Structure 1
Amino acid sequence: MPKQSLAGQVAVVTGAARGVGAELARALSARGATVALVGLEPKELERAAAECGPDAGWWEADVTDLAALRSVAEQVVDRYGRVDVVVANAGIAIGGSFLDSDPEAFQRVIEVNLLGSTSTARAFLPALIASRGYLLQIASLASMTPAPLMTAYCASKSGVEAFAHALRGEVANQGVRVGVGYLSWTDTDMVRGADEDDVMREMRTHLPWPTNRTYPLAPAVQRIADGIARRSVHVYAQGWLRGYQLIRGQIPLVLGRIAPLQLRAIEPRLRETADARRGLVGRGGAADEQARAARKVGS
């Protein structure tokens, strides 16, 4: 089927330096949108923006910094005259057991994934109200399937899902539509980084099909772009996630029976290697840690 055009629209994507964000910026650009990329890695942002056409722009900003995001929103509107679509995509993760996790890293996941999304909405909603636009909050299978060894990520993604659903009713009468995007394990730096941990990778392989495999990035992002073009309430990067909505209430009960058996088998290895997984996962996590370290030195 022909792809729905986004010609004449301005789309902002956070977490756009790599992974889903960068690929989505390219996909929206290919449909005619002018894209504004926001993230932490200037070189990667510049490279990704260059692939999105001559009108694409990029801004370095931490999504947990509301003042910086408001400044970005003002600059985007000044440059392009409007904002029609905002995708709150920025996210990081840690893995491992809750008690073994580093409290600072755990808190940072909540700050970036949840509070970063609320700051993104707060900064850009005035522009979206002016254009009667669309906000897409990227959630995850993790918001439907709370899984052991992913407590921070699951909590943050459940939070952004609830936030987006609640916000939808508040801004609908102002002409803004709000959607939630769901992805399963998708081939990104974050997932590849998580798979570098042998114990976490083994735990994931024991998840029930189809949650135990990694899905290619490009088709997943095209589904998200389709949802943006339709301004959908729910956007599913993998089609089977739609069915999971119908059974999500039963999933924690099933996991409550299966997970203890799997954890019992790997617990000795999990404890022995706990120190190796106290940091953020993947290149995006490393970029976040580097940016925070630079800010501490600067202050």
Structure 2
Amino acid sequence: MSRYHLAGRTVLITGSTGGLGSALARAVAARGANLALLDLDADATARQAEALGPDTAARGWAADVRDFDSLQRAIDAAAAHFGRIDVVIANAGVGAMAPLATVDPAVFERVTDINLNGVWRTFRAGLPHVTQQKGYLLAISSMAAFVHSPLQGAYTASKAGVWALADSTRLEVRHLGVGVGSAHPTFFKTPMMDQIHSDPAGNTLWKGNASGLWKMIPLDDVVAGIVSGIERRADLIVVPKRLGLPARIPGLIRPIVDRIGFPGTTIPDAIAQASPTGWN
């Protein structure tokens, strides 16, 4: 497949001011794309856009992925401003660290609503514009879609759901010339990871992601892998590539991963330290 050049195209990113969203925005701008930046805080997106270029190259809008009308207004406004939307990156996401038995139901529902329903809302609102350009929809999922860790049921379920949603949507829109992909990076440094490491349960479970099976990779590697996937209009983006096999055959290796990754009393120890609110 020929390379899908980003220069001159318009790329829309939700959760644009977060760690990954900001890095993706810079990388896409460097390839000559125009940027529609969506996040909860209008002032933050405006500052982000100003740092990336003039109004004709980058502009921010306030939007809440939990509110379809909010998303629709922002995406329609971005399309009107730039004259087109070629790529939509559904990047907004949150996490929580608590077991099913004690997690606050509102916390569980918030995570799944943002991470999964938020992707659906973003795709739904953006699809008419992307269809006009025969463009590309990308959902930011995670390796958590394939490796299901304890105390993160809402996160892993939502990320697995995002993977499935992308696969289903791809079948629905392929006759329209629209590509659909899901990105599945392993651990990398973001404010969310800082939150996990500062939480007693998260620190017990992941031990700072400093070494071994759960070691973090550089943010630059994640961004490079995702941008390369966009330029290939890839169905599945796994970062790093060496985890491609685990991503494709999770059912075969999950029991081994579970034994190696969470030995002894690691899980009950983490459960004992977890807060019903999702974080301590």
TM-score normalised over the length of structure 2: 0.91
Deviations 1:242-291 (A, max 9, x none): 122243112332355457754x35635642x333x61469xxxxxxxxxx
Specify the SS of the correspondent of 1:100.
Answer: coil
Q: Does 1:142 align with 2:148?
A: no
- Which residue is 2:218 aligned to? 216
CA contact (8 A) 1:182 1:241 kept: no
- Mean Cα displacement is larger for which, 107-116 or 52-61? 52-61
Quickly say closer, same or farther: Cα 1:240–1:130, change in 2 above 3 A.
same
How far apart, CA to CA, are the structure 1 residues paired with 2:114 and 2:155?
10
1:169-184 map, 5 Å = 169-184=171-186
> CA shift at 1:46, angstroms?
2.5
Structure 1 unpaired stretches of 5+: 282-299
- Which residue is 2:53 aligned to? 53
- Aligned-partner residue type, residue 268 of structure 2: E
- Which residue is 2:194 aligned to? 192
Q: Say how many residue pairs are matched.
A: 276
Q: Does 1:14 align with 2:11?
A: no
- Aligned-partner residue type, residue 40 of structure 2: L
1:97-108 map, 5 Å = 97-108=99-110
> CA shift at 1:217, angstroms?
1.1
Deviations 1:164-192 (A, max 9, x none): 00110100001100011011111100111
Q: Does 1:164 align with 2:163?
A: no
CA contact (8 A) 1:61 1:68 kept: yes
Q: Does 1:227 align with 2:229?
A: yes
CA contact (8 A) 2:143 2:247 kept: no
Q: Does 1:32 align with 2:37?
A: no
Deviations 1:12-40 (A, max 9, x none): 00111121111101110000000111111
Specify the SS of the correspondent of 1:235.
Answer: strand
TM-score normalised over the length of structure 1: 0.85
> CA shift at 1:194, angstroms?
0.6
- Which residue is 2:44 aligned to? 44
Structure 2 unpaired stretches of 5+: none
How far apart, CA to CA, are the structure 2 residues paired with 1:110 and 1:258?
28
- Which residue is 1:295 aligned to? none
- Which residue is 1:73 aligned to? 75
Quickly say closer, same or farther: Cα 1:56–1:207, change in 2 above 3 A.
closer
How far apart, CA to CA, are the structure 1 residues paired with 2:269 and 2:214?
22
Quickly say closer, same or farther: Cα 1:266–1:190, change in 2 above 3 A.
same
Deviations 1:223-255 (A, max 9, x none): 111111121111123222212224311233235
Quickly say closer, same or farther: Cα 1:207–1:45, change in 2 above 3 A.
closer
Specify the SS of the correspondent of 1:24.
Answer: helix
CA contact (8 A) 1:148 1:259 kept: no
Deviations 1:128-182 (A, max 9, x none): 1111000011110100101111101000000010000011010000110001101
- Mean Cα displacement is larger for which, 204-213 or 48-57? 204-213
- Which residue is 1:267 aligned to? 268
- Aligned-partner residue type, residue 267 of structure 1: P
How far apart, CA to CA, are the structure 1 residues paired with 2:17 and 2:53?
15
CA contact (8 A) 1:69 1:123 kept: yes
> CA shift at 1:209, angstroms?
6.9
CA contact (8 A) 1:184 1:211 kept: no
> CA shift at 1:219, angstroms?
2.2
- Which residue is 2:90 aligned to? 88
Quickly say closer, same or farther: Cα 1:89–1:211, change in 2 above 3 A.
farther
- Which residue is 1:121 aligned to? 123
How far apart, CA to CA, are the structure 2 residues paired with 1:265 and 1:16?
35
- Aligned-partner residue type, residue 253 of structure 2: I
CA contact (8 A) 1:84 1:131 kept: yes
- Mean Cα displacement is larger for which, 156-165 or 48-57? 48-57
How far apart, CA to CA, are the structure 2 residues paired with 1:187 and 1:239?
18
- Which residue is 1:296 aligned to? none
How far apart, CA to CA, are the structure 1 residues paired with 2:176 and 2:266?
53
